[in-house]
Chain A
Amino acid sequence: MFDTLRKALAVGRADYIEIRVQESTAASVQYTGKELEDIGRRTRLGGSVRAMVQGGWGFASFNEVDELPRFVRAACSQARLVQRKSAGLAPVEPARDSVVARPEVDPRQIPLAQKQALCQRYNDIVLSSPKVQTSNVVYRDSTVNEYLLTSDGAELHQETCFAGTMVMAVAKDGANVQRAYDSVGDVRGYQIVEGRDAVCEAVTRRAVDLLSAGPPQAGAHTVVLDPKLCGVFVHEAFGHLSEGDFIHENERLRQVMTLGRRFGPDELSICDDPSLPGEAGYYAYDGEGVSGDRTDLIRDGVLTGRLHSRETAAMMDEPVSGNARCLSYSYAPIVRMSNTYMEPREHPFEQLLAGIDNGLYAVGAIGGQTDMEMFTFSAEEGYEIKNGRLGRKLRDVVLTGNVFETLANIEMIGNDLQMQGGLGGCGKGGQSPLRVSDGGPSVRIKNVVVGGR
């Protein structure tokens, strides 16, 4: 493969050229309600070329891998159309490596019939409840072999093997429809999707219980987030602000995100770490062939680092972090998170509740969105907190706020760190879903706006 890539690279003329070819095989199974909606295996082959000429980028993606030289020329000539100030690319030691995926149980060795039987069992569990109207059970695996060659001398083969499952229950009572779900997915191997009967039962119970839950009281509350929602908050509300592409050319934003500025209490530390083995956001090298290492974003409440591609690192004169990633060959790498989490502290969950007279415990996440300043999250479910104890179950719990104020309003950080991968992922720049994991412990925050009825 590299011979073909080298020959193609030779026809291009640019300051920097990057050629990527990906071969992949994938399997999926999906039940919706009683019906098996989708089952099967599929194959993909494609590539892309990225070229930089004096700071301007050209990009070509394609399936006709046998016509690679044509696309190298196209990307180079497109790059010449762009005139742009540039600091170039931060220098890195060119990676020459071959990284083979090492799943504990290789999903490619599991027959399709076994994957189907697993989904059917999970689906039967969900549908066994009379209040469940319909279900959604998805299994997905994919094995990608990527070949990357750059004009800087990188020659990199990386294999990734991802497997995961998602179980959703939809309960219905008249016009009242409620959903609950759970998802796992990472690069540990097929074993992680097995033995989840109890999870399916819990999901089903949660959806049914939500039918009789009430809405929260609208207004500003002291809120305790569970580890899952804390992870979503860390990723969505704060993590995206740490991405160098967003701030690198913008002086005023740089001022807001000045390293050394205090963002939260001393207890608060947030980091991004692609090197965590097995996690959904794991990789050895990023999409530019840069080694993926841990980056401290907030340390003891103070902004200490951010995520970079080679270009944004050069622009901001900061160290590369190995966070340029692309969803697939049809996209150019952009600055992305990997495994992003808030570090745990010593407080047990009960201590977080103690002293809250009238608050709210928000659990899980249906989704999250941010415009950098403002975030909005939908919790899967919630509970009232009355006099330091959990009370009535709540639904339609949506939290919103200003990220800077909210980080500063963190009152207490728990000891129960959990990382969450899954079939979903990050959706930045239309490159969705990119496998990431996020996490944190339970965390208590004051003055968060909650939508209710």
Chain B
Amino acid sequence: MDINALIDTILRKAGARAQAAEVFYESSESRPVEFENNAVKYVATKSGRGVGLRVIKDGRLGFSSTSDFSRIDELVENAMESAGFGQDAKLEFPDRCEPAQVEVYDPAVNRLEPEAAADLGQGAIDAVLARHPDVQCSATVGCTLSEERVANTRGLDVGHTSTSFSAHLTALSVGDGGFLWVGDGRAKARLIPDLAPLVEKVAGDLDRAKTEADISTGSYPVIFTPDAMATLLISLSQGVNGKLVQKGASPLAGRLGEQIADPRLSVFDDGLVDYATYSAPHDTEGLASTRTPLVEDGVLRNYLFDLQTAGVMNARATGNGLRGYGSQPGPGHNNTIITPGDASLDQMLAGIRRGLLIDGVLGGGMSNTLAGEFSVNIELGFLIEDGRLAGRVKNCMAFGNVYDLFKDGIEAIGDTPEMKSSLSVPPFCFKAISVGAQG
């Protein structure tokens, strides 16, 4: 199938019946190798492609999509029908794009053969088993080649090809006390030739979790590791989403310029980090990617917008229009970068006489995250006694409000950020978090 001819045909047919038309084409081929119970189980190739057609007709937006390229007339017809009901268009499709300079393609990822991916994964599993022979490991090692194109009747035609490599390793330990899952993963545009950090994390967690400790219901100082911080950042991520701001559902609506957090907190949305998993030269509407301050020194600076939402809000689009071919663009995140602080993990630990270190949670994102509430099972957490880890705690929950914590609850921000996929965040130490336990 000639993609240029396909895009031209769609734009011509739709353009003849509407003020403006835009085609978003997406294709990807991923080659995951999946391991189950310590051995390879699946070698797969997953390819997919499709087009989304957005039109502006009589001032209204219409949309349809298909992966069946023999049904282009139906696609155009469906988009026209949709425009009969659609929202008033508050945007103009861009007529050109100056893509940002950012590395998103690594030929080594594209060249990775399934045999090599299988060796990488098996090597990591064997290394965990060498230290913990009784656990069951599963893993996925995969690479993806993706292509995106956006073209419209105003003359824009821009696209890029990117690679993605990902590796995930999980170990399950079944003991008298029940199940323990530990895992680690990485994703980036570049090949990760050595999975030793994942092995160290998984095997190390299994070591650390061997001793168990009890904690009773109460309020304690708590360290959230970078992995666990992801759960707390869900609320902030929703709060700055332009769509939720537009709907008035975000508690951050109408508060630009306000001190919403501790002055030590700075958070950026960044689409320009070389080889990071959510980096791209442009978004899916053809706007160049940028680095957008969300919170700077505790002050709320920006919301994230796609074109239409920005139009409705009389704001400027931030290059955050994201989508798959099957849906219309909406505001979405690139990579989230938190500026590190000045405390080492040892310093944080040393300051705690009795508290918790939380590394993994269950149930994140299920509570009233919009309001900042979190209430999570501590899946992997450790009691801290006199600055030392004193065993794994089980059957307990941590809960509170993210906005309150970020405003008044930060004891220290770690000096060493970790970036495993799209999130670069240091550990955080909070003064007091409520913990519910059976005792």
Contact = CB atoms under 8 A, between A and B. Distances in A.
Interface of A: 23, 32-33, 35-46, 56-64, 71, 74-75, 78-79, 81-84, 112-113, 116, 133-134, 170, 172, 175-179, 218-220, 245, 249-250, 252-253, 256, 330, 332, 366-378, 395-396, 398, 400-402, 404, 447, 449-453
Interface stretch (B44-52, B184-192, B278-286, B313-321): B44-52
B43 A63 contact: no
A81 B249 contact: no
A376 B398 CA distance: 12
A398 B368 CA distance: 10
A70 to B, nearest CB: 11
Contacts of B246: 33
Contacts of B180: 373
A255 to B, nearest CB: 9
Contacts of B39: 83-84
B67 A46 contact: yes
A44 B248 CA distance: 35
A133 B249 contact: yes
A82 B43 contact: yes
A57 B42 contact: yes
Contacts of B9: none
28 contacts: A23-B68, A35-B312, A38-B327, A39-B85, A43-B68, A45-B70, A56-B43, A57-B42, A59-B45, A61-B45, A61-B46, A63-B68, A81-B114, A218-B399, A219-B217, A249-B36, A369-B362, A369-B366, A373-B178, A374-B362, A376-B363, A377-B366, A396-B368, A400-B362, A401-B395, A449-B397, A449-B438, A451-B436
Contact of B399 (A78, A330, A453): A453
Contact of A43 (B75, B370, B377, B437): B75
Do most interface residues of chain A lie in helix, strand or loop, or is the interface mixed? strand
Given A44-B66, A253-B174, A256-B174, A332 B42 contact: yes
A453 B404 CA distance: 13
B222 to A, nearest CB: 14
Interface stretch (B76-84, B98-106, B151-159, B197-205): B76-84
B19 interface: no
A332 B377 contact: no
A71 B47 CA distance: 10
B40 A179 contact: no
Given A401-B395, A453-B434, A134 B78 contact: no
A78 B65 CA distance: 31
Interface in B348-406: 362-363, 365-368, 370-373, 375-377, 379, 394-397, 399-400, 403
A218 B434 contact: yes
Given A250-B174, A256-B174, A371-B379, A61 B81 contact: no
